[in-house]
Structure 1
Amino acid sequence: MSSAPAGFAKVYGSHPFHLLLMTAGFAVVIAVVATMKPASLWNPASWWQSIAVWFVVAIIAHDLLAFPLYALVGRLMERGLRRRDTSRVPVLNYVRLPAMAAALTFLLFLPGIIEQGGPAYLAATGQTQEPFLTRWLWLTAGFFIAGAAAYSVAFVIDRRRGQQPKAGDAQTTA
């Protein structure tokens, strides 16, 4: 006899917690739209500056362009690293996570890197946007250094565990 969650999962296709989480997410979206009023999501003066348009473009750009691109890059990294990786600690996630962090922070820094809105930024902060590229590069280097340090720690821990005698092994004395 199957349990209630298993029966629910068979009919719904996932765990009941998934349905609860999705319902809560949609409730939050509805609350935000109701609070902001749908009219505030549309700018009739210049339609391309509307929040609704940017939201739809972001969904399309992610699903049709970005996801296939980073899925392909992930597969290529997986193939390339799997051939060279002989240790029991896979290196892929220690490269993938810093690369994803670098890509996301690049998107955040991009307006500053290309100096979009330079006069407004200068008026608001009294600073130029020149250091944005350098700061992003330093941040990216930090991500990869942290990934390399985490991999090194995991590799050393794995090597030490591999050298310890296992329970039941006969130890010889000289």
Structure 2
Amino acid sequence: MRARIPVGNPVQLLLLAASFALAAYAGVRLLADDWFGVALWFVGAALLHDLVLLPLYAALDRALVGGLGAAGRREWTPYVRVPAALSALLLLVWFPLIGGMVDRRYRLATGRSPDGFLAHWLLITAVLFGASALLLAVRLRRATKRRPPAVH
């Protein structure tokens, strides 16, 4: 019996081919000027992630699961993980501006003030954790309404 190669929807295949073409174009343009600098940046980012960041957030997640698991609230972990991960991602992307490291360069490049990035990141983080806490409260309220009263 011959194995068939699964072929997706023609629109999906067209979008996949277009995304590969766009990625190839971006790669050629990116590597045209300073291929060594780009390669060094990718290797450095991979090493930073694998040797520093991954053990750090794995340890933090283990502590979170251990703490909530010991309290009998292990199902609450996604309500902490998701906003923490989104906040950490925003911090990682915007760290030079949040930390005030590139104020002059940012002002020269954009003509805008770099002030407020720290306050905005803190506000977004508070909103993410607040929305997550609200979702957890709604979930717990619904669960208590559905549960029949205990009979002794």
Same fold (TM over 0.5): yes
Corresponding position of 2:97: 112
Cα deviation 1:46-67 (Å, max 9, x = unaligned):
94xx222212222222222212
**Equivalent position amino acid for 1:41 in 2:** L
Identity among equivalent pairs (%): 34
Corresponding position of 1:148: 133
Change (3 A) 1:52 1:42: farther
Corresponding position of 2:86: 101
Which of residues 52, 57, 61 is equivalent to 1:70? Answer: 57
Q: Is the 8 A contact 1:113 1:133 kept in 2?
A: yes
| Equivalent position SS for 1:67 | helix
Q: Is the 8 A contact 1:81 1:92 kept in 2?
A: yes
Task: Confirm whether residue 35 of structure 1 aligns to residue 31 of structure 2.
Answer: no
**Equivalent position amino acid for 1:54 in 2:** W
Give the number of aligned pairs: 142
Corresponding position of 1:92: 77
- Which of the pair has more CA radius of gyration? 1
**Equivalent position amino acid for 1:150 in 2:** L
RMSD of aligned residue pairs (Cα, Å): 3.4
Equivalent-residue separation in structure 2 for 1:164 and 1:140 (angstroms): 38
Q: How big is the shift at 1:39?
A: 7.9
Cα deviation 1:64-110 (Å, max 9, x = unaligned):
22122211111111010111135xx8211101111111111111221
Give unmatched runs, 5+ long, in structure 1: 5-15, 18-26, 166-174
Equivalent-residue separation in structure 2 for 1:64 and 1:152 (angstroms): 37
Structure-2-length-normalised TM-score = 0.73
Deviating beyond 3 angstroms after TM superposition, the runs of 4 or more aligned structure 1 residues are: 27-34, 36-40, 123-126
Equivalent-residue separation in structure 2 for 1:107 and 1:35 (angstroms): 26
Which of residues 36, 55, 58 is equivalent to 2:42? Answer: 55
Cα deviation 1:30-51 (Å, max 9, x = unaligned):
645642465842655x94xx22
Give unmatched runs, 5+ long, in structure 2: 8-16
Structure-1-length-normalised TM-score = 0.65
